Amino acid sequence: CRSKSEFIEKAVQFYIDHLTAEDQRSMLPNAMLSAMKSIVAESDNRICRLLFKMAVELAVTMNVVAANSDIDDITLERLKGECVKEVKRLNGNFTFRDANDWQRG
């Protein structure tokens, strides 16, 4: 839309079309809705499988690090707080290089 008034005009027209439609259950054909639901479900499944694999790898890494370090609870909590701040600052895009640079000061 090129202007607010054009956007409002289209929104009102869409709403009128919706109200006057014979089948008010859906503005989209059932086949299209079914296809969209399938695509979303497949994407959700793929993301869940990848998150599970990443969680396993992270758990392995955390256990290896924990087995080879002697960090007290206070230091660990302080580190966690600092990590939260750093990850927020980087908008969640935290890499090993970022961690390395951060640890070196």
Q: What is the mean pLDDT of each run of 10 residues along the chain (105 residues)?
A: 79 79 62 83 92 92 90 92 90 86 84
**Parent domain of 102:** 71-105
The domain tally of the chain equals 1
- Does 64 fall in a domain? no
Q: Residue 17 gets which letter from DSSP?
A: H
- Does 100 fall in a domain? yes
- Does 80 fall in a domain? yes
pLDDT of residue 1: 74
- Does 98 fall in a domain? yes
Q: What is the pTM of this model?
A: 0.53
CA dist., res. 91 & res. 105, Å (int): 20
pLDDT of residue 23: 58
E strand or H helix at 71 = none
Residue carrying the six token digits 């009102």? 12
- Does 25 fall in a domain? no
